[in-house]
Structure 1
Amino acid sequence: MKFRYLFLIIIAFVSCQPIAEQKTTEGKAVKVSSDFHEIEDAYHFYTIGDWGRNGEYKQKELADMMDLAGRKIEPEFIVSTGDNFYPNGVASTQDPYWVSSFENIYSGHTLFCPWYVVLGNHDYRGNYQAQIDYSNISQRWNMPAQYYFKDIETDDGAIIRFVFIDTSPLNDEYYQETKYVKVHDQDTTAQLAWMDEVLDVEVDWKIVVGHHPLYTGGKRVEDQMWVRTHIEKLLTKHKVHLYLAGHEHDLQHIKNDQLPTHHIISGAGSEVRETGMMEHSVFAKAIQGFVASSITQDSIYNQYVDVDGNVIYAHTVKKK
């Protein structure tokens, strides 16, 4: 009899363990690396960008890996750094792309958490207002305005302010391109004044999310970084800890040692392209992947996970 009880206890224990391996439809085993580990008592979120391609370019495979990773470290929410729908955004809240590029792709149960989203330049080619309005339809899609902020309090008492911005109107060259004519409708002075106001607060961590990076070693390494000219002084003034971006189809970590902000590019949600290093680069790789961040009172631990479940890079941001 005692062996029966022991057997039941073992079964119960095993069934409660997070599942970190599954098989594809072809029967191939897929699992998250054992290097992917949880920080005790941390608050977790994932960051992904440049993903909306109907599941192509390994978008679906990465989505499944994110769900698998979520069974090991469940995210409280997911940040999207923009270019949510290629090539030209969506036409309306009823556009089929909502189903084919989002709902049916990120269908794993650990991904049914809040998504906090910003607009990318490709989203500006369509009806960007529809992405705002979809917040009233979807339980998980959150974009209440073109720019907004959200405060989070962690279990260990840390206060985090996330500031989500709209960077396309801050890219000066777009005002010369017909496909981005909708940037003319935006009041960039008002957005910058708003940023200055909402970042002027005493919290443990300040994280800004925008589509365009301020630094890159990728495809646009030689380009004028217009968004940097507009917002870097605000990030420095208010000692912003992290700036999360996409636009470059890769994964990067960049840190100018003379400035307070760590720059993380997570734009490898589907199609990737060749990347590289620049003066302030710490890490760069062109592979489909996402960034998992774990925040405590004292640190932010960032793990870069590729489509095969490997932790290809990790770093810690310490509070100064």
Structure 2
Amino acid sequence: MALTLLTALAAAVTVTYCFPAVFQELENNGNRTSIKFLAVGDWGGLPYPPYVTAVQKTTANEMNAVAEQMGADFVLALGDNFYYRGVDSVDSPRFQETFESVYSAKSLRVPWYVLAGNHDHAGNVKAQIDYSLKSDRWKFPSYYYELNFRIPNTGKTLTIIMLDTIVLCGNSDDFVDEQPRGPAYAVEANRQLVWLQERLARSRADFLLVAGHYPVWSVSEHGPTECLLKSLRPLLIEHNVTAYVCGHDHNLQYLEESGVGYVVSGAGNFLDPDIRHWNHVPKGSLKFFTGQASTLGGFVHAEVTKNKLILTFFQATGTSLYRTVLSQREFR
């Protein structure tokens, strides 16, 4: 009897870890051999007329230009989707005023995979999730979730794990303190962390990205997030994650540390040149930073090919500022 029970438990564990991934379908595969996407954070306009900022509009225009020229299969929306207190219901006019009417170009009418930021959690995040049922491009199925893609005509795969770092670490009041003050519900935070550990452990993706709102490393106003340094960073290193992508600080940054790339793309609506945490990241890890008002905003374009991930950082004034190339994962 005991042996039978152990066998059943082992089978259950095997099923849990080997459950086949659901792959997102890309349009117009044809002879393509890459996946392309944009990553933009902190793009959430204003809660009063005109509901958008000059930086948001200029950045949206350049996102359209880059998507038309270089291609974009989807957009990663990295939180703080609606300033300053999120939305109150699924019928909020902010969805139209700050999202639909701003990113209206044809090249941006692709799936937007969304996660929540601290300002979203000041409102009703469930309403943002429910808006997925009202929009043909707003994709926000849960507080945290996994995306899987086949890189066309290569046999290679890309996985993006979308986290809720506010559930994980707690909220922060940007006007009072910089660091999250601990999860509101420890059980929910632990549930997400266990889920993440399982997903990372079983992933055989050739390129594995993790996305959240809070940064692991940042030289700017908010600085490194202590909670993520303790809970997330060791997992990124252990499982050879390609890169971590986030927002929160209102600028563009790229850092590399212990084999992981760290992308900060939080320049979608405001700009901040603050570098108060310049000496609080590992020496030599910072490769690129800009937060100057003259850039008029910014975002990141990513292309995942058969054997590399190409990241290009764009300013809204129409030029690329920095490019880096990351290799596919090696399994130990």
Give the TM-score, by structure 1 length: 0.82
2:272 corresponding residue in structure 1? 273
Aligned partners of 1:159 and 1:134: how far apart in 2? Answer: 29
Aligned partners of 2:182 and 2:88: how far apart in 1? Answer: 16
Aligned partners of 1:45 and 1:248: how far apart in 2? Answer: 21
1:120 corresponding residue in structure 2? 117
- Aligned match of 2:59 in 55, 62, 70? 62
- Tell me which amino acid in the other structure corresponds to 1:163: I
Aligned partners of 2:52 and 2:156: how far apart in 1? Answer: 36
- Tell me which amino acid in the other structure corresponds to 2:141: P
Quick check: 1:275–1:285 contact (8 Å CA) kept in 2?
A: no
- Tell me which amino acid in the other structure corresponds to 1:302: L
Aligned partners of 1:108 and 1:267: how far apart in 2? Answer: 21
1:162-181 aligned at under 5 Å gives the runs: 162-172=160-170, 174=172
1:192 corresponding residue in structure 2? 193
- Aligned: 1:240 with 2:237: no
Aligned partners of 1:289 and 1:171: how far apart in 2? Answer: 26
Q: Give the number of equivalent residue pairs.
A: 277
- Tell me which amino acid in the other structure corresponds to 1:262: G
Quick check: 2:183–2:189 contact (8 Å CA) kept in 1?
A: no
Aligned partners of 1:252 and 1:296: how far apart in 2? Answer: 23
2:158 corresponding residue in structure 1? 160
1:312 corresponding residue in structure 2? 321
1:46 corresponding residue in structure 2? 38
Aligned partners of 1:107 and 1:92: how far apart in 2? Answer: 22
1:282-312 CA-partner distances (Å, limit 9, x unpaired): 1000041110000012100011111111001
* Runs (5+) with no aligned partner, structure 2: 1-31, 46-50
- Aligned: 1:88 with 2:85: yes
The 1:186–1:248 alpha-carbon spacing in structure 2 relative to 1, beyond 3 Å, is: farther
Q: CA deviation at 1:181?
A: 10
1:252 corresponding residue in structure 2? 253
* Runs (5+) with no aligned partner, structure 1: 1-39
- Tell me which amino acid in the other structure corresponds to 1:102: F
- Aligned match of 2:212 in 210, 213, 219? 210
- Tell me which amino acid in the other structure corresponds to 2:140: M
Q: CA deviation at 1:164?
A: 0.3
Aligned partners of 1:233 and 1:293: how far apart in 2? Answer: 24
- RMSD over aligned Cα, in angstroms? 2.2
Large movers: runs of 4+ above 2 Å: 169-177, 179-186, 275-279
Identity %: 29
- Tell me which amino acid in the other structure corresponds to 2:313: Y
1:251-287 CA-partner distances (Å, limit 9, x unpaired): 000111xx22100000000111114344321100004
